[in-house]
Structure 1
């Protein structure tokens, strides 16, 4: 097995026994958001305490805690000089529905890493096409995330991987979509349901959408220096928005991906299981996790995902 550390040039392939692993890479450097998966993973979510990644899934539940990352680049700094509130009045909310998206995903065999990687690439291709077109319609710049798939330990700008119980994460420092091809299967109890992995990707990609629209930078700036209660509320708003943005993609692409009533319920059940339980207060109640995901699937419009203006009860 090869080291899956991120690489610096496009079209890089790292050799692995049995087949080649493609690492699609891009350019921009910004903040860092990691996502880690545990248990029966249906999607990725933001974390609260990693030392080198701004978000990740970890621990005995699907969500962990928020940490600090390198400061934002000029391109990612909040546009405070314009008077625009990029969380609550982002240009992304002004375009309307995402529009119908046609995806062509191959058959999935969770026991075959090559099959898993092909499936993940196909869904990521579809996400790239859908969101790049939407950003173009909004008159906003967009760069697709880098894809880094690991089979062994490695190191990203957001720190080493995998961490304990971490199957995937998004690192905004290099706009990297990091996935343990075999780990996400193990963390999802080996499920052969494609919708579990599709939403895992679409939720994680939702954080990339937040980053590209500069919402992540604005969120980080607003969260800095707040007390724990306020920080947790902002984290819930950020996380629930990613649920909703993932739902927007699924709603727009569901016909081509054969996401019927049963698949929809499977996704929402996974969302509920990964919501706050016990003393956790960072990702929302089960009812709110389901609500925002379903809202995105039904409306297919990022404007429906404006958790930053929602009443507090809807983001508890």
Structure 2
């Protein structure tokens, strides 16, 4: 990607120097080891850290994280729930922070333009950098869950160490693969602004788990399509993309498909428990958004076939 030297966003909120107390019920030193059984039971995954990362595949935008993690930090604001520490970062991490800021700024360019064309105004989200754990308006978030978006505070949360997992565990290296992750979470923010997220949550009430999961899949695939829309405009309007970038994005979309993650974590695939879509579906909708660049072509909820 041709990102160096481009405008950086003013919406980065750096909490990497803040320590978040352990949530009640984690058993003190148990930490993530105590979290894993709860997460696996709730989401139907039975194996390994890869399964935990699959929960969000990169978004826990629906529901409250405190309810998942035992409610240990209810009543605390993000600032009250964290203690400041001095930030130590490598040159590589500093460059990654600049990259994330540039990508966020470029998504702002795209969505301001598209919202203006619709006669409305785009409200920019904040992107929170954290390490290990973070208090959001949706509750306590853990790095092992992967990046996520919280509609209650309209912020994207990311621990930059996730990008090492994307490269090493998911075999999806490259700066455009990293940009795809941010664009997907910003896609959830767009869904919030358009009222899609609220409608999905209302529609889920009273549904059984399988049907609720099917709605989640359609919402996640739409976020993939919206990420593709950003990529379309980043390329056509600002020429950010270089040779091989599209392939990086498609590899990342494929790498975090429910079928692939379930096969890796539990050895078999359970389509009824999909919440984000298969690798094939995620690639398909990312490509639709990237080729079209138009919101109307990202209507996954009306699509007869995903």
In structure 2, the partner of 1:180 is: 159
Q: Which aligned runs of 4 or more in structure 1 are off by greater than 4 angstroms?
A: 10-16, 62-67
In structure 2, the partner of 1:167 is: 146
Q: What is the deviation of 1:254?
A: 2.3
In structure 1, the partner of 2:200 is: 219
Evaluate the alpha carbon distance shift between residue 187 and residue 201 of structure 1 in structure 2; reply closer, same or farther with a 3 A threshold: same
Q: Deviations over 1:24-76 (max 9, x none)?
A: xxxxxxxxxxxxxxxxxxxxxxxx958xxxxxx96153646775249xxxxxx
Q: What is the deviation of 1:272?
A: 1.9
Q: Are the counterparts in 2 of residues 243 and 293 from structure 1 also a CA contact under 8 Å?
A: yes
Q: What is the deviation of 1:140?
A: 2.3
Evaluate the alpha carbon distance shift between residue 60 and residue 174 of structure 1 in structure 2; reply closer, same or farther with a 3 A threshold: closer
Evaluate the alpha carbon distance shift between residue 62 and residue 271 of structure 1 in structure 2; reply closer, same or farther with a 3 A threshold: farther
Structure 1's unaligned 5+ residue stretches are 1-9, 22-47, 51-56, 71-109
Residues in 2 aligned to 1:58 and 1:178: alpha-carbon distance in whole angstroms: 19
In structure 2, the partner of 1:268 is: 250
Q: Give the secondary structure class of the aligned counterpart of 1:59.
A: helix
Q: Are the counterparts in 2 of residues 295 and 304 from structure 1 also a CA contact under 8 Å?
A: yes
**Number of aligned positions between the proteins:** 226
In structure 1, the partner of 2:228 is: 247
Evaluate the alpha carbon distance shift between residue 252 and residue 69 of structure 1 in structure 2; reply closer, same or farther with a 3 A threshold: same
Q: Are the counterparts in 2 of residues 206 and 245 from structure 1 also a CA contact under 8 Å?
A: yes
In structure 2, the partner of 1:121 is: 101
CA RMSD of aligned residues (A): 2.9
Q: Which of 296, 300, 309 matches 2:293?
A: 300
Q: What is the deviation of 1:169?
A: 1.1
In structure 1, the partner of 2:215 is: 234
More helix by share: 2
Evaluate the alpha carbon distance shift between residue 124 and residue 49 of structure 1 in structure 2; reply closer, same or farther with a 3 A threshold: farther
Return the TM-score normalized by structure 2. Answer: 0.66
Evaluate the alpha carbon distance shift between residue 281 and residue 167 of structure 1 in structure 2; reply closer, same or farther with a 3 A threshold: closer
Q: What is the deviation of 1:264?
A: 1.4
Which aligned pairs between 1:66-81 and structure 2 lie closer than 5 A? 68-69=63-64
In structure 2, the partner of 1:28 is: none
Evaluate the alpha carbon distance shift between residue 58 and residue 142 of structure 1 in structure 2; reply closer, same or farther with a 3 A threshold: farther
Residues in 2 aligned to 1:265 and 1:67: alpha-carbon distance in whole angstroms: 30
Return the TM-score normalized by structure 1. Answer: 0.64
Structure 2's unaligned 5+ residue stretches are 1-10, 19-40, 44-49, 66-89, 260-268
Which aligned pairs between 1:18-97 and structure 2 lie closer than 5 A? 59=52, 61=54, 63=56, 68-69=63-64
In structure 1, the partner of 2:3 is: none
Q: Which of 120, 126, 132 matches 1:146?
A: 126
Q: Deviations over 1:199-258 (max 9, x none)?
A: 011111100000011111111111122112211111111011001010111111125222
Q: Are the counterparts in 2 of residues 61 and 274 from structure 1 also a CA contact under 8 Å?
A: yes
Q: Give the secondary structure class of the aligned counterpart of 1:310.
A: coil
Evaluate the alpha carbon distance shift between residue 152 and residue 236 of structure 1 in structure 2; reply closer, same or farther with a 3 A threshold: closer
